[in-house]
Structure 1
Amino acid sequence: MLVLGIESSCDETGVALVRAEGPAAPPRLLAHALHSQIDMHQAYGGVVPELASRDHIRRVLPLTRQVLAQAGCGLEDIDTIAYTRGPGLAGALLVGAGLACALGAALDRPVVGVHHLEGHLLSPFLSADPPEFPFVALLVSGGHTQLMRVEDVGRYELLGETIDDAAGEAFDKSAKLLGLGYPGGPALARLAEFGDPDVFTLPRPLLHSGTLDFSFAGLKTAVWTQVRKLGDRVCEQDRAHLAASTQAAIVDVLVKKSLAALKQTGLSRLVVAGGVGANRRLRAMLDAQAQRRGWRVHYPELHLCTDNGAMIALAAAMRLQREPQRARRDYAFDIAPRWDLAAA
C-alpha cells in the first residue's frame, strides 16, 4: 500500500510517500518534501492565517510533484491519499483536504483524514529506533502539551494535559518578552546555551500538584516580571541567563511529569513527539533519567519533529493496517479545526 500524505495545518506545507507492506511490517518512508513559512511570517511576529492558507495553495502541488519524482512513482501508483483533517487553522486545513479529495476523485482512490497529533505521536515509528506498544507519549506540539497512555494505534488514554498555555506557547511567549524573533522557541533555546539556568528563580507550575496536568501561564508572567525588573539595564548576558532559566523551568516540569506518568502506568517506554521534542536540554535530561532507571525514550528524527507530511502518511498507513474501512470514497471536504485525539 502506497500512501501519499499531505500536511497543511499551520505554517508548514508537507508532502510525503510512505509504503506499508502488511500488519507485521513497519511502514517505510520513500520520499518527503517540506516548505516552511517562517521567513514569510517573521515580519508579523507570528502566523497570519490568511497568508498561511495562500502559501499552502502555492506550494502543495509542486511539493507533490517533487515527492513523486524522488520516489520514482506516478500518480497512478498511489493507493491511498491521507491529509491532516485537524486540529489546525481552518483555511490551511482546507487546502490539504481539497487537494486530497480532488486527487482521490480524479484517481478513484480512497482518502483518509488524519489527526495532526496522532501523526506526531506515531512519528518515531519512522526512526532508526522505533518504539514498541504500549508506551507513554509526551506530546509537545504548538498549543498542545499532553501525556497519553498508548496501547496501540487508535487506543489512547489521556493522562494529563495543559490547563492554559502549552510548553511551546511558553517558549514562544517568553521569547517575545525577551525581544527574540519568530519562531521564538528555537531562538530562546539558542540564547539559553550562553546563560546560567540558576541565575533567576522561576516557578515550576503544578510540579507538586499530584496530577499529570500542566500549566505554563504563570511561568510566562514570572518571565515578564523579571524583564520589567531588569528594565533598561538589561544586557545580552542577562537575557541569556533569563532564557536559560526559562528553558530549565519548562524542561523540569516536562521531565518530572513524564517520569511520574511512567511510574503511574508501570510502563518503561516513553515517546516524545512534537516540535518541543527537538529541544536538546529536554532530550539530555530525559535520556539521563531513562538510563538511570533502565527505561527507554524514543524520539522522531530531528527533521521530522516539526509538522510534516511523512507523519500524516505514516499515521494513515498504520491506521489502515488495522482498520481498512477508515478509507472512504465520498470525497467530501471534511476538516476539524478542533478535534479531540481520543475521538479520532
Structure 2
Amino acid sequence: MGDRILRPEQPGGSDVVLTVLEPEGLYPDTGPEQEILGPGVRMLQGHAKTSLAELPDALCAEVDGLMTLRMWVPAEQIARFPKLKVIVRMGVGYDRVDRAAAAARGITVCNLPDYGTQEVAEFAVLLAVSLRRGLILYHDTQRGPSPAPWAVMPSTIVRRQEVQTFGILGLGRIGVAAALRAKAFGYKVVFYDPNQPNGWDRAVGIGRARSTDELLAQSDVLSIHCPLTRATRGLIGERELRLLPKGAVVINTARGPILDIDALERCLRDDHLAGAGLDVIPEEPPVEPIPGLLRAYRDQEDWLRGRVVITPHIAFHSPEAWRDIRIKSIETMRDVLVEGRRTNVIPPESD
C-alpha cells in the first residue's frame, strides 16, 4: 500500500477534508458515494452538462479528486484544479484525459477496466452474428412500402458461423469475453495482442496471430477490442481492410478513431467487405454536415441495406453496468485518493 493521502495532520492537529467532484450530476444523490468514501471526504456533484469549462473557478479550487464519464479533461481544464490529485475516468477508455498534462502535475489517472465487460463482448458478437445470419438483411429489406420478396435473398453476408474465423484485435478483458462467446457460436477464434504474454492463447483456448497482418488475412469477422492510444489511432486503414478476406465483416465496439471509417465505406461500396457493425465512430456525437458512411446509413441508401448496423456507443449499457460504473468509480477513488493504493492506475508512460 502506498502513502495514505487522507487527513494529513495540519498544525494544531485538525484534519484536512478532501473533496471529490462528479461534475456531470449523473446520479440523483451522493449517498452511496459518501458511504464508500467515509468520513473526512466530501462528495459533490456539479452541474456541468457539456464540459468542465462550465464549472466555476471557486468550485474547481476545492477539488482533490475528479470523476468524469463523458467529459473531456484537457490540459487547460486540468490547470483550473490547483489541488487535484486523482482523476477517475468512469469507463474503460482513457483517451478523453490529457495524461501528459496530468503527469506533469503529478496527478494520478485511473480507469474502470472491469465494468461492462459482458455487455460489450456480447454486443460485439451479436453484431457479427446478426449480420452473418441475415437478421439485419431481412429486417432491413422487409420494411417500407416496397419490401423484398418473401423468399431467400442471395447475399455474401450470410455465412455459417462454423466455417468462419473470428479475429480479435486486442485481447484484454472484453476481448477474452468476446472470444469465449464467439467460440460458443462455433467460430474458430484467433487474436493478436502484442501485450499479452506467451501462453495466453492456450489459457483462453484460441489461436494466436503473430502480427496484425497475419490476423487480418484470416479473419472472416474482425472485431476490434484495443484501447485508443497513439499506437492504435488509425490502426485499421484501407490497406489493412483489404487484407481481410473478400466478404469479411468488421465490428468496432472499441473507439471510433482506431478504424478509418472513410476507408471502410470504400471497401463496402466496392464489395470487398460484406458488412460492418459500429457502436463507435470517429466523432461522437456526430455533427452536421454528416458525411460518408453515417450519412448513407441515415438516408437508408439501398447499397448498404442489410450490410451495416450503427449504434450510438451504447454497447456497455445495462442497468447493472450503470451501477457498476457508479460503485467501481467511487471505490477506485477511495482506494487511490484516500488509501494510497494503485487500483486501476494508468501509468503515465503508457501510450
Query: Which structure has greater helix proportion?
Result: 1
Tell me: higher relative CO, structure 1 or 2? Use CA pairs within 8 A at least 6 residues apart: 1
Q: What TM-score comes out, normalization by structure 2 length?
A: 0.31
